């Protein structure tokens, strides 16, 4: 079970329901580090020691997917997960 989880937030502020679900999935004892999207988040992923990174894109998924592509060039040792509410046609085509 991951103990250090980096959550990179896109769109709206932290959604309490998603936050609650993530804590249920990965345990209350886990350390959750929330970061707003941007270059600082990717740098944190590169230098930090995380077991898992979650890209939480509460909009169309495009920004989260682009950041996962960028992050995968920096750190390929941990799982990278994208969670999004809805996908645009361009997002679905890229997958």
Q: What residue spans define the domains of the chain?
A: 4-94
More confident residue, 16 or 77: 77
Class of domain 4-94: alpha beta
Contacts with 62 (C-beta within 8 Å, 6 or more apart), sequence order: 88, 90, 91
pTM of the prediction?
0.66
At 60 the pLDDT is 62
Answer whether residue 24 shows pLDDT above 80. Answer: no
Contacts with 74 (C-beta within 8 Å, 6 or more apart), sequence order: 42, 45, 46
Q: Write the pLDDT tens digit of every residue in 27-77.
A: 666 667 777 666 677 777 777 788 888 877 766 666 667 777 777 777 567
Could you tell me the two tokens for 36?
């707003």
At 25 the pLDDT is 73
Q: Assign 85 a pLDDT band (cuts: 50, 70, 90).
A: low
């Amino acid at each position: 079970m991951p103990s250090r989880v980096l959550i990179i937030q896109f769109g709206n502020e932290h959604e309490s329901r998603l936050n609650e679900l993530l804590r249920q999935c990965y345990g209350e004892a886990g350390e959750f580090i929330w970061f707003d999207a941007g270059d600082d988040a990717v740098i944190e992923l590169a230098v930090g020691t995380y077991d898992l990174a979650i890209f939480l894109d509460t909009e169309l998924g495009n920004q989260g997917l682009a950041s996962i592509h960028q992050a995968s060039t920096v750190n390929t040792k941990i799982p990278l997960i994208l969670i999004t509410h809805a996908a645009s046609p361009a997002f679905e085509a890229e997958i």
